Structure 1
Amino acid sequence: MENVIVERVADFLKQFPPFQEIHSADLHKIAAQVRVHYVPKRNFVFKEGDPAHTEFYVVQQGAVGLRSKSRSATAWIDICDEGDILGLRPLFADQTYAMEAVAREECVLYAIPIEAFKKVLANNQAVMDFLLESFASNTRNPKASEAKGKLLSANYASNEAQSTDLDFFQQAFYTKNPICLTAKATIQKAALLMNDHKISSLIIEENKLPIGIITDKDIRRWVATGEMQIADKVSEIMSSPVKCVPPTIHLAEVQTILLQHKIGHLCVTQDGTDQAEIIGILSEHDIVTAQANNPVALLKQIERVSKLESLTRIRESLSSLLEAYLNTALPMPYIMKVSGLITQALMHRVIELSEEKIGKAPVKFAWLGIGSQGRGEQLLLTDQDHALVFEDVSDEELETTQAYFLKLAKDVSRVLNELGYVFCPAEMMASNPKYCLSLSQWKSQFSKWIDQASTQNIMMCSIFFDYAKVYGEADLVKQISQHILQKLKGNQKFFAYLAEDAVKNPPPLGFFRQFIIEDDGEHKDEFDVKARAIQPLVDAARVLILAEGIEGKNNTVERFEKLIELEPQNEEVYAGCIKSFHVLSKFRAVEGFKNNSSGRYLELSSLSKSDKMKLKRAFKPIQEIQSLLKNRFKLSYFL
């Protein structure tokens, strides 16, 4: 029986890094010494300041939250789930714990004795490198598919750290399919190849594995000085062994390696070792190129741009950047933040250029991003959704004033369309006279939607209650927000209608826990991740935050975080919604970039069993938040 348990532990561990790198015999020795801990919900694994344990932990089931006593009790630094490692500090430093670990739900942990594990580390550099990276960079799992990166959530990172983080997480784009030579080739052949292909380096390979690198500097150093002849073999002057890195490496890591080893080139292989096939090469020049396309650089380029072609290139760079971030498994809060900042800056510049072209606006105005852009959640090239509000003018000036802003909006919409943001099929755009209104007209419009609750009006509220200023006068936007909140104050009937709309899509699982998929049309047998999973979370956050009378919280995650502050008794439900929102958003983004689509429909047959389980786990908070809505707004009586 004991051997069966050891086998089960070993089988589980070998699914996750760094245990995948451990030889089977060694892994079974570790598994035989693992202790299984059951941790009830809300119990501590360790507390901040506790003496170091003799074990570190791997989550087998459940979720463990990490937080610091110096922050709010609701400000989780990160959540570790299946396969994640925590409590590594005693492995490298005989110190007290720097944060506390709390079971967010019932947990089963595998406790691995540190002394036993050190014996494995002594003969396994890959495992040591993984754990060193994890400990040194404050990273719970550098290879994790869900949340690689520093243990900093959006509400934990300081503003001062933002610029550093933008640079740290920038992916180092490498040259694919590099030119290679064998060690027996002559220096002359290497020089001719470099000249023909206009490159400055070659990888020397043997059976498709890297054994060295030769650069034009090497040739000048040895041949130009007469120490070597052009007929000599490249093996005589190549740098060896070659330093290899994986394709997912970040810019900061590349810079560190080049400085540490005083070299100018790195070989990119499938797994980052010299025993894997060559797939690319990285040079100091690639670093310069990457730095020119990082978020900070893109923001600076947007400020200076004056031509549509340049805007198109920046928009393409943003898409490439976001796709790379997803591929390197950066945290979704960070990816969304970068996307939101650059998208807003891009649209701001488009409006600015259009205003310069058409002429200065006759009165103050504000351009509003609506829907996903208004919530700061736009990752993909989706439909345009926007509106425009201008300050009140006399009845005599209204027609000509609106005509100016319609002209401006049409020009902006045209440019956005050329950048890849297609026109909204329902024409919910500022170029539509219905959504290009004065401040008073917008107040009247919102009053009508709120006072005359109907299916259509509730739908319009769901769309237009999520807005953010992209350009113009913030005070106009503030006046609209204050008007809406005043109209909603104590309006239980309206909130019941809005809550009813928010629960119209129940958790997307059938009676036998099967996915509810589209049964006809273009997307037959596909799963609508937007309407069936993401939208219920968005809708729930909206109605709850509005019912609290909170102004200025448009982002779904920020809404749930604020609700945690206001209702700590419901923290578990709201925190679950946050995690699910990030998981579901990533599924949609990955699908969108893979198929150059909106990412709305997932082909379930292409998902792994693990991915399907992640999806199903993400549905649980939908059921919980909808139950909360039904109870709070008495929907059983209302319906």
Structure 2
Amino acid sequence: MKNTIAERIQDFLKQFPPFDSLQAEDLLLISSQIKVLYVQKGEYVFKQENPCNDEFYIVREGAVGLYRNFDTDQSLVDICDAGDLFGLRVIIIKKEYRMSAIADEESIVYAIPTQVFEPFIEENKEVNKFLLETFAAHARNYFTETDKGQRIDNTISIEVAKDLSTLRSISYLKKPITCLPKDTVRDIAERMTSKKVSCIVIVDKDKCSVGIITDRDLRTKIATGMFAVTSSVDQIMTFPVITYPKTITVAEAQIALIKQDVSHLCITKDGTQNSKLIGILSDHDLLVSFGNNPSVLIKEIKRIKKVQELRYIRKQVEKLLKTYLEQDIPTIHIINIISEINDALTIRIIELAIKKMIYPPPVSFCFLVLGSQGRREQLLLTDQDNAFIFEDVEEEYYESTQHYFIELANEITKGLHTIGYEYCPAEMMASNPRWCMSLSKWEMQFKDWMTTPTEEGTLLSSIFFDFQYIYGNVSMADKLSKVVFEGVNKGNRFLALLGVSAIQKPSPLGFFKQFLVEQNGEHKDTFDIKTRAMMVLIDAARILVLYHNVKGVNNTLLRYDKLAEIEPNNRELFESCAKAFRVLIKFRTRQGLLHHNSGRFIKLNTLSKNDKLRLKRCFRPVRDIQELLRVRFQLKNLI
């Protein structure tokens, strides 16, 4: 007789890793042993400090939060949705739980007996690897709490960057404090205090590590009176030490520190105890190698019920950004991750705004972001640029339909302002009736900009043509994109006029190679890094991808990568433009974080000589790309 419950469980499990790598008969065997748990909101699946159960878990429906407790404070570590595993500590370590699992809403959870599943872990490398990585992702949070219970965020991979930790090397102490086995505890304690370190490594005559003493050893063995301060260090040292080569990965360090229940790893020349000590890696070093946690932030965004609470998330994004810059993560990865979080924030604000409306949207619609967010290169909070497209309706219903979406846009722009996005001074927002139109009117507007270009139309098209779909009916955005490329393909006149705008941007340097600064206004005597440097590179990349009919590539760096493929004869120029843009966007971001603003207007007297030289090196590609536009589109005749 068939076990229909087991088959239903099997059908669910096979959708998710690591179960999708198991044979059908094996998965059915496991499914037949699984317990189904119905967990009410607020009910515990397991509690922190309790012994591990003989099972681990996967969420079938609902959501389970993982929390760390400190006195009366409870801090969210992660949220597990359908298909997410948790409670894996029983498989890896078999010790007490370091977190509590609490249902955030009414949930169905499958409890999988470890005894049934362990044979498949040993036989299947993919299963083994996945479980270790999942455990490591949750376990990182073990290192992100201070003694006072203050949360320090960490970084785990998200879809856009896969495993970002592999892009970072762990920074460890290169010259650890060492001593000999017969040194006294009093002597090494004084040395640790004077050097402000938490450990000392005991080495032999060949500088090979034979043991380690940490602050914890001094507390548990000396402060308790178990040993006298005159004891030799070999009496209280922990041995053997755990050693690794300097090529140790973040994942390896995580698992080693947790599994061995130690706070320090010794880094040796060849990774063994019998080779020379070259460094020491602590759990604090591992913490520093992480930034913030984009995965948890995005999950948290999706569950937040009030716009005001999203402001906290955006502040966390700034911390994440600062950490990535300090760790010198590749620019494109920083841009991708911050863009994913920005998009998630915008989507959640739209969802909350729709819930506030008296009735749902009357017709299909599409919400677009423009400018830097549309190019997916907005790292700092700037002003809003967005637009609404709604489905064509009969003329008699147009005004009421538009009114609905303007009201919705007011809620959205207000929400974005609440979390830190300033209102656009030029009102290029969906709340402006001019930028809240039906699809056919948007198509007419785009065609008008291209067929009868004006100075205003050229400026607006340079903003609106860098649009990015965020929410709603994506086919509307696709139709607008088609209009742009059809218009461009009919002739180069429109592109030439865009090119004129690009080459007429104010120069960054004067005749004597000095920085040209603003002459009046509130930004007098500052250098406008956006207008005088970055916008030329942005405009040129946009014009050239339109010229080559390259669709679906909005980001400036990716555009130059694509152009280098298409025009190998100009590869060097496009690569230098990309390099200059990476330097400029990081420079502007650092300035913005330092001065708590957009980073656009820079006070030159605050820069070092090296910083000024770095900026000036970026201006050569700016001039070169302007010259390419001038020649290709014969702009001398149009100026």
Shorter-chain TM-score range = 0.5 to 0.7
Deviations 1:352-408 (A, max 9, x none): 121123242111111101000000010001001111101111112212211221111
Deviations 1:13-59 (A, max 9, x none): xxxxxxxxxxxxxxxxxxxxxxxxxxxxxxxxxxxxxxxxxxxxxxx
**Is the 1:363–1:390 contact (alpha carbons within 8 Å) kept by the matching residues of 2?**
yes
Hey, what's the Cα distance between the residues in 1 that align with 2:261 and 2:389?
57
Alpha-carbon distance, 1:487 to partner: 2.2
Alpha-carbon distance, 1:451 to partner: 2.5
**Is the 1:392–1:439 contact (alpha carbons within 8 Å) kept by the matching residues of 2?**
yes
Aligned residue identity for 1:162: A
Aligned residue identity for 2:634: K
Deviations 1:482-512 (A, max 9, x none): 1122222223322221110011126522222
Alpha-carbon distance, 1:524 to partner: 2.7
Alignment of 1:361-372 (within 5 A): 361-372=361-372
Aligned residue identity for 1:206: S
**Is the 2:369–2:467 contact (alpha carbons within 8 Å) kept by the matching residues of 1?**
yes
Aligned residue identity for 2:620: K
Alpha-carbon distance, 1:447 to partner: 2.1
Alpha-carbon distance, 1:206 to partner: 1.5
Task: Specify the alignment match of 2:294 in structure 1.
Answer: 295
Seen in structure 2, the aligned counterparts of structure 1 residues 241 and 207 have a Cα distance that, compared at 3 Å, is: farther
**Is the 1:171–1:325 contact (alpha carbons within 8 Å) kept by the matching residues of 2?**
no
Aligned residue identity for 1:401: T
**Is the 1:170–1:251 contact (alpha carbons within 8 Å) kept by the matching residues of 2?**
yes
Task: Specify the alignment match of 2:314 in structure 1.
Answer: 315
Greater Cα offset, 448-457 or 535-544:
448-457
Task: Specify the alignment match of 1:416 in structure 2.
Answer: 416
Say which of 177, 196, 205 aligns to 2:193: 205
Hey, what's the Cα distance between the residues in 1 that align with 2:321 and 2:617?
25
Task: Specify the alignment match of 2:329 in structure 1.
Answer: 330
Greater Cα offset, 332-341 or 504-513:
504-513
Structure 1 counterpart SS, 2:163: helix
Alignment of 1:127-276 (within 5 A): 162-165=161-164, 169=168, 204-206=192-194, 208=196, 219=219, 227-228=226-227, 255=254, 258=257, 263-264=262-263
**Is the 1:577–1:622 contact (alpha carbons within 8 Å) kept by the matching residues of 2?**
yes
Greater Cα offset, 160-169 or 489-498:
160-169
Seen in structure 2, the aligned counterparts of structure 1 residues 222 and 250 have a Cα distance that, compared at 3 Å, is: same
**Is the 1:214–1:234 contact (alpha carbons within 8 Å) kept by the matching residues of 2?**
no
Greater Cα offset, 230-239 or 614-623:
230-239
Alpha-carbon distance, 1:218 to partner: 6.3
Hey, what's the Cα distance between the residues in 2 that align with 1:565 and 1:439?
34
Seen in structure 2, the aligned counterparts of structure 1 residues 306 and 242 have a Cα distance that, compared at 3 Å, is: farther
Alpha-carbon distance, 1:329 to partner: 1.6
Task: Specify the alignment match of 1:138 in structure 2.
Answer: none
Aligned residue identity for 1:227: M
Seen in structure 2, the aligned counterparts of structure 1 residues 400 and 602 have a Cα distance that, compared at 3 Å, is: same
**Is the 1:540–1:629 contact (alpha carbons within 8 Å) kept by the matching residues of 2?**
yes
Structure 2 counterpart SS, 1:373: helix
Seen in structure 2, the aligned counterparts of structure 1 residues 284 and 442 have a Cα distance that, compared at 3 Å, is: same
Deviations 1:216-236 (A, max 9, x none): 686457777x73489999999
Task: Specify the alignment match of 2:91 in structure 1.
Answer: none
Deviations 1:194-239 (A, max 9, x none): xxxxxxxx99512656665755686457777x73489999999687
**Is the 1:488–1:494 contact (alpha carbons within 8 Å) kept by the matching residues of 2?**
yes
Seen in structure 2, the aligned counterparts of structure 1 residues 391 and 339 have a Cα distance that, compared at 3 Å, is: same
Alpha-carbon distance, 1:469 to partner: 0.5
**Is the 1:592–1:598 contact (alpha carbons within 8 Å) kept by the matching residues of 2?**
yes
Structure 2 counterpart SS, 1:368: strand
In the alignment, structure 1 residue 608 sits paired with structure 2 residue 608: yes
Alignment of 1:165-564 (within 5 A): 165=164, 169=168, 204-206=192-194, 208=196, 219=219, 227-228=226-227, 255=254, 258=257, 263-264=262-263, 283=284, 293-358=292-357, 359-505=359-505, 507-564=507-564
Q: How many residues align?
A: 446
Alpha-carbon distance, 1:306 to partner: 2.2
Gapped regions of structure 1 (runs ≥ 5): 1-157, 174-182, 188-201, 244-248, 268-273
Seen in structure 2, the aligned counterparts of structure 1 residues 207 and 242 have a Cα distance that, compared at 3 Å, is: farther
Aligned residue identity for 2:194: E
**Is the 1:170–1:290 contact (alpha carbons within 8 Å) kept by the matching residues of 2?**
no
Sequence identity of aligned pairs in percent?
A: 40
Hey, what's the Cα distance between the residues in 2 that align with 1:313 and 1:537?
33
Hey, what's the Cα distance between the residues in 2 that align with 1:220 and 1:474?
62
Seen in structure 2, the aligned counterparts of structure 1 residues 419 and 492 have a Cα distance that, compared at 3 Å, is: same
Greater Cα offset, 550-559 or 317-326:
550-559
Structure 2 counterpart SS, 1:525: coil
Task: Specify the alignment match of 2:147 in structure 1.
Answer: none
Hey, what's the Cα distance between the residues in 2 that align with 1:161 and 1:379?
16
Seen in structure 2, the aligned counterparts of structure 1 residues 284 and 607 have a Cα distance that, compared at 3 Å, is: closer
Alpha-carbon distance, 1:603 to partner: 2.2
Structure 1 counterpart SS, 2:301: helix
Hey, what's the Cα distance between the residues in 1 that align with 2:429 and 2:410?
9
What is the Cα-based RMSD across aligned positions, in Å? Answer: 4.1
Seen in structure 2, the aligned counterparts of structure 1 residues 622 and 303 have a Cα distance that, compared at 3 Å, is: same
Greater Cα offset, 602-611 or 403-412:
602-611
Greater Cα offset, 252-261 or 464-473:
252-261
Task: Specify the alignment match of 2:97 in structure 1.
Answer: none
**Is the 2:379–2:589 contact (alpha carbons within 8 Å) kept by the matching residues of 1?**
yes
**Is the 1:508–1:515 contact (alpha carbons within 8 Å) kept by the matching residues of 2?**
yes
Aligned residue identity for 2:314: R
Structure 2 counterpart SS, 1:579: helix
Aligned residue identity for 1:334: H
Aligned residue identity for 1:310: E
Structure 1 counterpart SS, 2:372: coil
Seen in structure 2, the aligned counterparts of structure 1 residues 583 and 253 have a Cα distance that, compared at 3 Å, is: farther
When Rg is computed on C-alpha atoms for both structures, the one with the higher figure is 2
Seen in structure 2, the aligned counterparts of structure 1 residues 415 and 437 have a Cα distance that, compared at 3 Å, is: same
Alpha-carbon distance, 1:535 to partner: 0.3
Alpha-carbon distance, 1:455 to partner: 1.2
